[in-house]
Each structure stands twice: as C-alpha cells, then as structure tokens.
C-alpha cells in the first residue's frame, strides 16, 4: 500500500554555541559541583490568542514537580529569579553568519518569543526563541534543500532523573545558546536527510562558534507518510536518522493495519469504553507490580477495548506500546493488556475472572492499569483519545528517539498557541550594514575548506574531508594550536579518541581535552605518550593534570629501552628480531616509548 | 488594494516577504513595523516597506480583541460551608498580563486563575483599582481601607492583590488605620506575572487565602518563602520590606521572624500576634504632608531645606546610629523651632538609632530631632501621615514613639539579621 512512497522529511538541527549563555553572562562550561536545589510546579497559561496550547495542557495535567540542581554556571536568570539580560552578541553573530551561509534573508527586527514548555525543562515554563532569518537553501548532491528558518534560542535544562511524579534537572545546560535550522519537508529519503544534515552542519561548524561536546548537536526529524507530521526529537547522531525513519515507517504501517483490522471488528467505537475499579480482584495476587501499587494506596482499573483483541501485542501489532508510552509519561509503570496475560505474576485463574467480569470476547482487548485515584480520570481520557486518534490514522505528535533508533511518544504536537512574545527582551534591530559586514565572515564552501585544511595541516585530502564533514575542523584547529603536530591531532580525534571512548564507555569533556593538549604541547610529548595519557584519563576517570604526573606515563629513556632489550634477547625462547622487537618491548612495559628510538637501540645492540 | 489600516488584530492574512508568500495572523502595525504571527507561532516584526499584504483570508471579529479568554474572572468561587475570604484586586504584577500590542506587562482584571487552586475556601473577589503600585497615593489607601472594612464586615478575612514595589507602604498604612479588625488582612503580590507558567502568583494567592482564614488580627504580607514553590511566608506589614528587585522571596521581615508560614495546605502562625477582634474600626485620615530624606555625603543645606519646607513632618534616613552631617544641624534646629517634626531612622534598616553615643547624635537631640528606635523608614513615613491625620499635634511625638502595631521591636534578637535562609 506504499506508505513509503508518500514520505516527506524535514529536519530541525540544533547547534550549541560555545561562548557563554544567551541571556546572562554565565559560562557554557561548568564543574559538576552542585550549589543547591529548588522546586517548582508549572501552570499552563493561555496564549496571546486566548487559548491554551494542547501540548502545554497535556504537560500540565501530568502536574509534575520539577526539582532543579543549581550548577556553578547558573545565576538568578536560570532560576527564573531575574529578567533576562541582553542577548549574547557572539551567539547572535554566529546565528547571523550561519543564516548568511545558508542563503537566508536575515530579518531586520529580531523578536524573541516565549515557547511554552511546562514539562519543567525550563524554569520559566517557556523557552526563549527568535527567528533570525528565513527563506534560504543549502546545496546537496540531489538538489537544493530549502531552509525555512534559522532561529536563536536557549537550550533547556538537562534531565537527570525522572519518576514518581518528579523530574530532576540540572541547570548547567539551561540557557546555552542554540542555533536551530529548520528545513522545508523537501528531503527525498533517509540518506538525503543525512547528507542535508551534514551540509547544514558544515556551515554552522565552520562559522567557528559551535560547541564540541557530546550533545552539542541535536537533530529533530520531521517525517510524514501521509498521516500527519511526526516530530521526532533528540536524534543524537546523524547515523541514527535512517534507523529512526525506518522505525517510524514500520510503526505507521503497523498502525495502519491495526486500524483496518479493528474496523473489521466493528471497531473501538462500538460502545463507550467503561472503566471499572477491580482492585478487590487482585488483593491476593502474585503480581509484584499490582501488589506494591495496592499497598501504596493506588487502585487497579480495567477497561474493555472493543475490537482490539490481538492488536495490543502480537506479531507486528503494537497498540500496547503506544499506550504504555503514554501512561509512562504520567509516571505510571503498571499497565498490562490481554495480549500479554496471563503473565507478570497474574495467573490464568485471575485472568479468567477478569475476562468474565469485563465481558471480553475474542475480538476484544482488556487493559489493566494500576495508578493513584487522583490520576485515573485524566489518564483514561488520554488513553481513549489517543487510541481513537491513532485508529483514525491521525498520527501527528511529538516523539523522542531512543539511542537504538526506536522512538516513543513524548507529547501532542504543539500548536501556535504555545508561543507568545518575550516582553522582557526588546526587539533587536539588525541594520543592513551589519548584515553586509557579516558577509565577510561567511565560511567557504565545503570543498574549498577541505583543500585548505589539507594544505595548511599537511593532511591527506581524505582525512581533511573526514575532519570537515564530521564537524571536527574547529577542534583540529584548536588542538593543533596547542600541540603543533596536526597529523597526530587528526589521527587522535578521528581514530584514537573514539576508540578509547568506546572501549571505556565514557567521554573526555572538551575542556579536559584542551588541557591535555596544552600539557602535551608544553612537554612536547610524542604520540605514544599522548595516547597513553588519554587511555589513563578514560580508564581511571582522571584529570589531565593528575595523569601527567603518573609514573606510567613517563617515556622510556634510552637506557631503560636498552635494559629491557638486553633482558629480552637473553631470555627469549623464540628469536627476537627486527620485526617483533617493538611488540615485545610493548609487552614488557606499560610505559610509552618512541618506536624509532627503540629500533635504533635494537640495532646498536644487535651489532654488538 | 487592501491596506494595513484595514486589517484588525487576529485576522488571517496572506503576505509576501523576501520573494515568498506566507500565511499568518495579523497582530499589530505601527509607523514602520508590521507584526505578524506565523502558523508555527513565531511573531515576525517586519519592516513595513519590505512586506506586502496580498489579501485578508479571514477577518477577525470586529473590535479587534478577537478571541474570548478561555477562563474569565469568576465573581465567586462557591464552596458551601467553608470559610469565606474576600479578595480585593488593586493591580500589580499578580494581576498583570502581557499586553500583546505594546509588548509590555500591564495590569489586568482577570483574577480567575486562582479558582482552580483553592477548593476548601470560598472566595469572592472585587477589583477596586487597576494600577501598578508605584502609582499608589495616600488617597488610594483611604479608599482601600474603606473597601477592606466593608469586605471584612461580610467575610472571615480579606486578601489584597497589590503590586510589590510599594506593598509594604500600603500594608503599613492599612495596618495603622485599623485599630481593630474581625479578620486577617493579607496583602499579596507576585514577582513573575501570572501569564507565565512559572508565576509565583498562584502559590502566593493560595497561601494568602489560607492565611486569611486564621485568627491573625493584623495586616500581613504573604509571598514566597524561598526560591521553591513550596512554602509561603507571612510578614508583619509594619516590619516587612522588599529587599530584592526580582526574586520570588524578595520580601523579608526586618529584625524579627516571619509571623506565619503556609505549606502543603496548612498554615502555621508564630505568636505573638494580635488576635482578631469583634469589630472593624478604622481611623481613615492620612495627612500626606510628610517627606523623607535619604542623607548622603555632600547633601547640601539648600536641598535639605527644600525637602523640609512646608512639611509638617520629615523622616530622615540617617547614617549608622542616626546621623547627618553637622552642616545640616542649624537647618534642623530652625525647622523644629518653626514646628516641623523631624524624625530619625537609619539607612542600616537593621538595628535601632541611638543619638546618645556620638556628639553628632547629642547635637541632633538638642536640635529637636525625634529618634524612632528601630522603626523602618517607610513605616515611619506612613505612620507620621496617620498620626498627623488622626491625633492632636501635641500628641505627635508620644504617638510616634509608641509601639502601635508592632512597628517597633522591643527586644531585638541576634538570629534574625539578614533574613536569608
């Protein structure tokens, strides 16, 4: 039936700008020290048009308590205890340059808006955002992709923990400037999406202001297969884009089949769904989840979903997950449906009694939910309206991408009601002259940059191309200025570091990397010492200064090399020769040494 | 050809800009900027000479104010059998909304937002003014006092929505004017306007309403206790002061502990406080012929005399224990001889003035100055207006020195300096 043929893809790419926060003068980087905590509850309010946004309303009904951890790089502005200061000039400049590089029309009046977000990720209850430029394009191998807007906005607080009706956020990320670039839905397919993201990313990175940490670049994928736009947030890596899209395609195909199948059964709407309190049926249950809920004072509710039998979870049908995603957003974990019962400690006997009470036929499904009484009404209204919406194939919503490329429901798609003017920030005037001057700073096209990098740093054009297309140009430039061996830097950032980070499952923060290369430059380390230092930092979770003093890091001197080799030559059962000597020395010592020097020592020894 | 002047707020329009056509909602137009809202909610402020109006797709209902508010002010939130609190709105941030035309925050009469919050108290509301509090005047205090008395005559307690800038002045004035009261009078404001999801207005109002159901027979100010939406402090009006420009917990009790707290649905009052009485008695005269002088090095005799002339009373905020430069002492002597009351408070805010310690102080006493111990300067100002308005002149000094409403702390204790947690 070809959902795929109707694919429409658009991207929203966010780049953090590194030069301090957008509306206060706090730095972007911080230590992990916690200063204190405070708590807030958000209330959704109406927009300038007088109505409440459905996404905001949905978030408010969850009525979560938000707890904030004040970091050292936060001040009263992040606590929502002081109005915003002036817009950070460098962030604005970066956004203007990116806009010009993407062939956009820069607006002469920058008008900040408040985008209402009441999930607690902003202490103010809104995100400040302004469109900087509109109506541009970026060239790709498959034609121009139109850019609808370039915006400048503040990043949200970083979620640390979530559960039990409480979300805990760190304020370290709140207020970091983000440049958001949105394309029109003119991207042809998944690979084209990756190419487009790279092409856009190149220009922003090349402007030289963007931050180089793990989550510094985040993309949202907008995809539609003819059943409404789905916005998938938080796609962390470009390589995940195809997986996310293909996951969404199969999800939509499955929903399409469920929808058809359910309507053959005369459908979900055959009668108004009823909710029953069945707590008493489970007082003696063996199900740990139900029992702990009952003990906590929660109730067990059941409802019969007509025409949904076998569609909750069997084969490719997954309506159960759609509902589980929803209730999890309310902090509810106890949801079971008939396709997975008996199970989870619920016996056949309990199931039989429940089916009979709920008058379940083979065509029907039964949903079992444990939750507080106070939440039950809102929860079932949301469940039934989500089911109805999905069965009608109105799939518009906001989803979130997990690390494995799967996605889950986040909230309804926000509308224009969630935006209203940020009255604390005056309109910024951008003169035509300013725009004209900025044009000088627009980066060169990608090919020219690659050849420039290749020439200036003596790298192969292939390496230069990888550096540029993986947004590591600024990093190469910075680290090479500290440690004057660009080839080693290139190899380190493209190969050694990613391998080590993968091996130890943790990352080296940018400021620590900068410090490491500063030390490397001062001490004129050889490559092996540098690599060993990075290894020690990752394996031990150490700071560069701590690592620099480690005994293990000191390079083997000529005498030490000679001693090791003498021992090797004397003791080896098999012959030590020119080909295996380096490997054997490595095996003997954990300390780094210069291979060329070792070879020289070996030759002098073997002459004797 | 349609023109921008034909378009009313809220109309759907098609316009062209930078070679592309867009659809949007018309918001506003002035001499050189047209503001339109795009379908994604962003407002664009475009230069008038660069944007062309293609057509009006759908005209908004006449009068321009387009869509009705979803939640309108309810006159009464009915909770039968519960305590009844009356709410008087005078304006300020707590009752403010964004004015989408000017983009500024301005007062609004919509106070319906509290209706969802308070289920256990019956609240009736009345808007008696709609100003930002810097525009308050003694005449308005007199009007306010009458309205509060009327409210208390038909309810268990009264809360007053007020701008925070001058809330301590207003609450102190009301405090002096009520010599007895049948229910609590609780002033409440907010530091973040109620159009914001993070507004403190909701929690502050909730706390104030509950404070107003107690036997607190004084005037208090209820605001956030700290940065969290967790607890509300009530300060005695005559010892309260706004001590921060923007924080939620800007209000502090100066030199004493707060008199009450509200959290998780319940109020805790911290005695001693005056209990509610049997009648509402007010002395509703205020004589505004009082000035306040903040002494500073280099304050000239000429400027000083300008602020003193034609006033019946002058509050000086002196340095430290209550001092001003020697050069001003002849002017003070002259003024007190002519019958002007000159009173001394301290810029330090914390602690008492004491004119016996240094020679300047003793000279000031000889010059006829009246020291006001640890009374806050702003409180002294409104108290002087109250005393001048309601008592004979020969009673003035005695009344000013008498502790009428807790404005003087008899025993100052060590642990209440600074106020912060």
Task: Report the CATH number of the B290-401 domain.
Answer: 3.40.50.40
Contact B47 A105 (CB under 8 A): no
The torsion angles phi and psi of A297, rounded to 5 degrees, stand at: 90, 5
Task: Flag whether residue B67 sits within 8 Å of chain A, measured between CB atoms.
Answer: yes
Task: Flag whether residue A5 sits within 8 Å of chain B, measured between CB atoms.
Answer: no
B55 Cβ contact list (under 8 Å, min separation 6)? B2, B13, B14
Contact A124 B196 (CB under 8 A): yes
State the pLDDT at residue A63: 61
- The 10s digit of each residue's pLDDT in A185-230 is 999 999 999 999 989 988 887 776 777 665 678 899 999 999 999 9
Residues of B in contact with A132 (CB under 8 A): none
Computed over its alpha carbons, how large is the radius of gyration of chain B? 26
Instruction: Report the residue from A48, A105, A129 with minimal CB separation from B18.
Output: A105
Q: What is the mean pLDDT of residues B101-110?
A: 57
Annotated domain spans of chain B: 4-58, 76-282, 290-401
The catalytic position among B129, B156, B165, B200 is B165
Task: Flag whether residue B16 sits within 8 Å of chain A, measured between CB atoms.
Answer: no
State the pLDDT at residue B380: 98
Strand B20-29 relative to strand B12-17: parallel, antiparallel, unpaired? antiparallel
Task: Flag whether residue B119 sits within 8 Å of chain A, measured between CB atoms.
Answer: no
Contact A51 B67 (CB under 8 A): yes
State the pLDDT at residue A554: 81
State the pLDDT at residue B81: 66
Fold type of domain B4-58:
SH3 type barrels. (2.30.30)
Q: Does B73 score more than 60 pLDDT?
A: no
At A548, list the tokens: 């620099």
- Find out whether A557 and A598 touch, Cβ atoms under 8 Å: no
| Confidence grade of residue B65 (pLDDT, cut at 50, 70, 90) | very low
Q: A with B: how many residue pairs have Cβ under 8 Å apart?
A: 136
Least confident of B31-45, B91-105, B178-192: B91-105
DSSP strand E in A72-124: where? Answer: 105-106, 109-110, 113-116
- Find out whether A421 and B103 touch, Cβ atoms under 8 Å: yes
State the pLDDT at residue B303: 97
**How many angstroms separate the CA atoms of A498 and A485, rounded?**
19
The catalytic position among B35, B90, B93, B214 is B93
Provide the shortest C-alpha distance from residue B237 to chain A (in Å): 23
Residues of A in contact with B45 (CB under 8 A): 107, 109, 111, 427
Annotated domain spans of chain A: 4-229+414-421, 262-392, 445-553, 558-607
Higher pLDDT, A304 or A205: A304
Give the Cα-Cα-Cα angle A377, A381, A383 (nearest 5 degrees).
Answer: 115
Instruction: Report the residue from B45, B71, B228 with minimal CB separation from A38.
Output: B228
Q: What is the mean pLDDT of residues B104-125?
A: 70
A96 Cβ contact list (under 8 Å, min separation 6)? A106, A132, A133, A430, A434, A435, A438
Contact B105 A423 (CB under 8 A): yes
Task: Report the CATH number of the A262-392 domain.
Answer: 3.30.1360.30
Provide the shortest C-alpha distance from residue B11 to chain A (in Å): 11
| Confidence grade of residue B421 (pLDDT, cut at 50, 70, 90) | very low
At B57, list the tokens: 């797709």
User: Average pLDDT, whole number, for chain A?
Assistant: 88
Contact B98 A421 (CB under 8 A): yes
Please tell me which of A266-275, B76-85, B129-138 the model is most confident about, judged by mean pLDDT.
B129-138
Among chain B residues, CA nearest to A431: B47
Catalytic annotation on B333? no
Task: Flag whether residue B2 sits within 8 Å of chain A, measured between CB atoms.
Answer: no
State the pLDDT at residue B93: 83
**How many angstroms separate the CA atoms of B348 and B318, rounded?**
8
For residue B133, which of B166, B159, B89 has the smallest C-alpha distance? B166
Among chain B residues, CA nearest to A53: B41
For residue B9, which of B101, B107, B98 has the smallest C-alpha distance? B101
The catalytic position among B35, B127, B164, B261 is B164
Q: Does B267 score more than 50 pLDDT?
A: yes
Q: What is the mean pLDDT of residues A432-451?
A: 90
Task: Report the CATH number of the B76-282 domain.
Answer: 3.40.50.1170
Least confident of A53-67, A307-321, A422-436, B9-23: A53-67
Contact A45 B67 (CB under 8 A): no
Distances (CA, A) of B276 to A159, B17, B215: 48, 66, 5
Q: What is the mean pLDDT of residues A320-328?
A: 89
- Find out whether A339 and A312 touch, Cβ atoms under 8 Å: yes
Catalytic annotation on B245? no
| Confidence grade of residue A420 (pLDDT, cut at 50, 70, 90) | confident
Q: Does B403 score more than 80 pLDDT?
A: yes
Higher pLDDT, B381 or B116: B381
Residues of A in contact with B27 (CB under 8 A): 48
At A429, list the tokens: 């005037």
State the pLDDT at residue B222: 98
At A496, list the tokens: 């050694």
Q: What is the mean pLDDT of residues A119-125?
A: 91
3-state SS class at B347? coil
State the pLDDT at residue A608: 56
Contact A419 B40 (CB under 8 A): yes
- Find out whether A118 and A12 touch, Cβ atoms under 8 Å: no
Catalytic annotation on B310? no
Q: What is the mean pLDDT of residues A124-136?
A: 95
Q: Does A152 score more than 50 pLDDT?
A: yes
Residues of A in contact with B33 (CB under 8 A): 109, 427
**How many angstroms separate the CA atoms of A547 and B269, rounded?**
57
Q: At what angle do helices A190-206 and A240-264 cross, to 10 degrees?
A: 140
Tokens 């003819």 -> residue? A226
Least confident of A562-566, A574-578, B29-33, B367-371: A574-578
Best of A58, A416, A426 to substitute, by most chain B Cβ atoms within 10 angstroms, is: A416
Residues of A in contact with B230 (CB under 8 A): 39
Task: Flag whether residue A425 sits within 8 Å of chain B, measured between CB atoms.
Answer: no
Q: What is the mean pLDDT of residues B15-36?
A: 90
Task: Flag whether residue A421 sits within 8 Å of chain B, measured between CB atoms.
Answer: yes
Residues of A in contact with B19 (CB under 8 A): 135
- Find out whether A480 and A457 touch, Cβ atoms under 8 Å: yes
User: Average pLDDT, whole number, for chain B?
Assistant: 89
B4-58 and B290-401 have identical folds = no
Interface of B with A in 228-257 (CB under 8 A): 228-230, 245-248
Tokens 């009313």 -> residue? B8
Provide the shortest C-alpha distance from residue A109 to chain B (in Å): 6
Q: Does A419 score more than 80 pLDDT?
A: yes
Task: Give the CA count within 13 Å in the CB-facing half-sphere of B317.
Answer: 16
Q: What is the mean pLDDT of residues B202-210?
A: 94
| Cα-to-chain-centroid distance, residue A457 | 32
Start-to-end Cα distance in chain B: 64
For residue A113, which of A420, A426, A429, A415 has the smallest C-alpha distance? A420
Catalytic annotation on B119? no
The torsion angles phi and psi of A228, rounded to 5 degrees, stand at: 105, 150
Provide the shortest C-alpha distance from residue B244 to chain A (in Å): 10
Residues of A in contact with B198 (CB under 8 A): 40, 42, 80, 123-125
Among chain A residues, CA nearest to B191: A81
Residues of A in contact with B35 (CB under 8 A): 111
Say how many C-beta atoms besides its own lie within 10 A of residue A284's C-beta. 8
Contact B70 A131 (CB under 8 A): no
Q: Does A483 score more than 90 pLDDT?
A: yes
Q: Does A374 score more than 60 pLDDT?
A: yes
B307 Cβ contact list (under 8 Å, min separation 6)? B291, B293, B314
State the pLDDT at residue A95: 94
Contact A111 B44 (CB under 8 A): yes
């Amino acid at each position: 039936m070809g959902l795929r043929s109707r694919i429409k893809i658009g991207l929203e790419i966010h780049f953090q700008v590194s030069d301090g926060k957008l509306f206060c003068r706090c730095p972007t980087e911080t230590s992990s020290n916690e200063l204190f905590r405070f708590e807030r509850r958000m209330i959704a309010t109406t927009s300038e048009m007088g109505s409440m946004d459905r996404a905001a309303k949905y978030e408010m009904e969850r009525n979560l308590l938000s707890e904030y951890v004040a970091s050292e790089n936060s001040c009263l502005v992040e606590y929502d205890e002081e109005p915003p200061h002036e817009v950070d000039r460098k962030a604005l400049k970066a956004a203007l340059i990116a806009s010009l590089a993407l062939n956009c029309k820069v607006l002469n009046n920058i008008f900040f808006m408040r985008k209402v977000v009441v999930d607690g990720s902003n202490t103010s209850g809104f995100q400040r955002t302004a469109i900087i430029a509109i109506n541009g394009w970026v060239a790709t191998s498959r034609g121009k992709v139109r850019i609808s807007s370039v915006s400048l906005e503040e990043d949200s607080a970083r979620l640390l923990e979530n559960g039990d009706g409480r979300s805990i956020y760190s304020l370290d990320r709140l207020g970091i400037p983000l440049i958001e670039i949105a394309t029109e839905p003119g991207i042809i397919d998944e690979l084209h999406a990756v190419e487009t993201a790279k092409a856009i990313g190149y220009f922003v990175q090349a402007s030289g202001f963007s931050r180089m940490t793990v989550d510094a670049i985040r993309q949202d994928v907008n995809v539609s297969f003819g059943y409404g736009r789905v916005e998938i947030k938080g796609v962390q890596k470009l390589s995940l884009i195809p997986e996310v899209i293909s996951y969404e395609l199969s999800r939509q195909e499955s929903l399409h089949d469920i929808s058809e199948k359910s309507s053959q059964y005369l459908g979900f709407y055959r009668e108004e769904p009823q909710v029953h309190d069945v707590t008493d049926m489970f007082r003696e249950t063996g199900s740990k989840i139900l029992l702990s809920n009952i003990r906590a004072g929660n109730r067990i509710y059941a409802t019969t979903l007509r025409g949904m039998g076998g569609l909750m979870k069997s084969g490719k049908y997954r309506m159960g997950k759609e509902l589980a995603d929803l209730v999890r957003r309310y902090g509810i974990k106890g949801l079971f449906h008939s396709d997975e019962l008996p199970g989870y400690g619920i016996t056949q006997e309990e199931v039989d009694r429940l089916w009979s009470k709920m008058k379940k036929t083979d065509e029907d499904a039964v949903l079992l939910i444990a939750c507080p009484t106070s939440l039950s009404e809102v929860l079932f209204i949301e469940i039934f309206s989500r089911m109805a919406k999905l069965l009608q194939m109105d799939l518009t919503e906001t989803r979130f991408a997990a690390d494995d490329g799967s996605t889950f429901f986040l909230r309804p798609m926000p509308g224009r009601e969630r935006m209203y003017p940020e009255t604390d920030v005056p309109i910024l005037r951008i003169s035509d002259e300013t725009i004209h001057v900025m044009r000088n700073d627009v980066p060169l096209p990608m090919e020219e940059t690659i050849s420039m990098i290749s020439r200036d740093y003596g790298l192969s054009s292939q390496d230069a191309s990888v550096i540029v297309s993986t947004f590591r140009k600024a990093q190469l430039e910075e680290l090479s200025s500290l440690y004057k061996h660009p080839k080693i830097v290139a190899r380190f950032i493209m190969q050694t570091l990613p391998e080590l980070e993968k091996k130890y499952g943790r990352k080296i923060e940018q400021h620590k990397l900068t410090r490491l290369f500063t030390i490397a430059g001062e001490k004129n380390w050889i490559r092996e010492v540098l690599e060993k230092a990075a290894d020690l930092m990752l394996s031990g979770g150490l700071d560069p200064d701590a690592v620099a003093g480690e005994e293990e890091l000191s390079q083997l001197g000529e005498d030490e090399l000679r001693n090791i080799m003498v021992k090797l030559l004397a003791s080896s059962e098999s012959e030590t020769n020119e080909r295996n000597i380096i490997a054997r020395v490595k095996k003997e010592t954990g300390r780094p040494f210069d291979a060329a020097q070792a070879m020289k020592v070996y030759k002098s020894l073997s002459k004797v | 050809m349609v023109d921008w002047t034909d378009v009313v707020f809220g109309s759907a329009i098609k316009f062209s800009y930078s070679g592309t056509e867009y659809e949007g909602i018309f918001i506003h137009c002035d001499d050189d900027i047209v503001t339109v809202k795009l379908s994604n909610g962003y407002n664009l402020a475009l230069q008038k000479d660069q944007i062309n109006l293609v057509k009006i797709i759908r005209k908004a209902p006449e009068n321009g104010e387009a869509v009705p508010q979803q939640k309108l002010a309810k006159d009464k939130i009915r909770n039968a059998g519960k305590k009844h609190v009356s709410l008087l709105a005078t304006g300020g941030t707590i009752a403010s909304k964004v004015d989408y035309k000017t983009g500024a925050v301005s007062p609004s009469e919509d106070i319906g937002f509290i209706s969802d919050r308070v289920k256990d108290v019956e609240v009736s509301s009345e808007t008696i003014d709609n100003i930002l509090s810097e525009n308050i005047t003694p005449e308005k205090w007199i009007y306010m006092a009458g309205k509060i008395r009327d409210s208390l005559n038909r309810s268990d307690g009264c809360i007053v929505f007020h701008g925070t800038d001058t809330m301590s002045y207003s609450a102190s004035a009301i405090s002096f004017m009520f010599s007895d009261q049948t229910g609590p009078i609780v002033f409440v404001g907010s530091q973040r306007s109620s159009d914001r999801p993070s507004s403190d207005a909701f929690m502050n109002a909730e706390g104030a309403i509950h404070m107003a159901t107690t036997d607190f027979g004084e005037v208090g100010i209820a605001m956030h206790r700290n940065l969290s939406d967790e607890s509300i402090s009530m300060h005695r009006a005559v010892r309260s002061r706004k001590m921060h420009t923007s924080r939620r917990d800007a209000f502090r009790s100066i030199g004493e502990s707060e008199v009450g707290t509200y959290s998780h649905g319940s109020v805790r009052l911290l005695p001693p406080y005056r209990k509610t009485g049997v009648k509402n008695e007010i002395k509703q005269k205020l004589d505004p012929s009082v000035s306040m002088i903040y002494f500073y090095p280099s304050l000239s005799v000429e400027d000083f005399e300008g602020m003193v002339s034609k006033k019946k009373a002058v509050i000086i905020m002196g340095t430290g224990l209550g001092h001003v430069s020697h050069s001003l002492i002849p002017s003070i002597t002259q003024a007190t001889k002519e019958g002007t009351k000159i009173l001394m408070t301290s810029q330090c805010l914390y602690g008492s003035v004491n004119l016996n310690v240094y020679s300047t102080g003793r000279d000031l006493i000889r010059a006829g100055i009246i020291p006001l111990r640890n009374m806050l300067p702003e409180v002294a100002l409104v108290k002087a207006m109250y005393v001048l308005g309601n008592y004979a002149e020969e009673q003035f000094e005695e009344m000013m020195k008498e502790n009428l409403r807790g404005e003087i702390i008899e025993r100052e204790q060590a642990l209440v300096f600074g106020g912060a947690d």
